Amino acid sequence: MSRPSGDFPPGSPLDDPLKAMQFQFHGHEVHVFRLSLDPATGQRQRTNLGMIDKTALTVSATLKANCSPAELAEIDRWLANRQRLAQLRAELAARTLPEQIQQVAQWLSTTEPDEQTRRLAEDIRANWQRLRTALQQRDLL
């Protein structure tokens, strides 16, 4: 399937192929759509080109087959941006973790233990173990 050409009014956002794509999240998938104008009605239409696995950030074979090289380049840019956002989120979490730990310690010191607090403590312990392992593997602990 090739990308339609020449059916976008000049100056329209759809005139730019890089603005003629849409990424829509559905659970663990990201559906990729091509936006175009229906020549008969002049209405905008969306064509589902395929999907990206949101967890692994991998492009399906169907999506690769349905896209032009320019669209694949736009998808690559989108994927790179998503990966960078994930890196920034992880860095922000690491940089704010000491303060969050202090706040959790303060909150726990004033909270009556109940079933929810015990489950939360189990989750904190499990994640703390994963963090300790990561710190040890990087010779940071």
pLDDT tens-digit series, residues 94-125? 999 999 999 999 999 999 999 999 999 999 99
Which token pair is 117? 């607090």
Query: Same domain for 36 and 55?
Result: yes
Looking at residue 11, its pLDDT comes to 52
Query: Same domain for 76 and 104?
Result: no
pTM of the model: 0.69
Query: Same domain for 38 and 68?
Result: yes
Query: Same domain for 23 and 72?
Result: yes
Looking at residue 19, its pLDDT comes to 61
Looking at residue 16, its pLDDT comes to 54
Looking at residue 26, its pLDDT comes to 92
- Indicate the number of domains in the chain: 2
Of 84 and 45, the one with more pLDDT: 84
Asked, for residue 3, whether it belongs to a domain, the answer is no
Query: Same domain for 75 and 115?
Result: no
Residue 14 pLDDT > 80, yes or no? Answer: no
Query: Same domain for 100 and 123?
Result: yes
Averaged pLDDT, 16-21: 64
Query: Same domain for 101 and 51?
Result: no
pLDDT tens-digit series, residues 27-83? 999 999 999 888 888 888 899 999 999 888 889 899 999 999 999 999 999 999 999
Domain residue limits at 54: 13-86
Query: Same domain for 81 and 118?
Result: no
Query: Same domain for 22 and 82?
Result: yes
Looking at residue 86, its pLDDT comes to 92
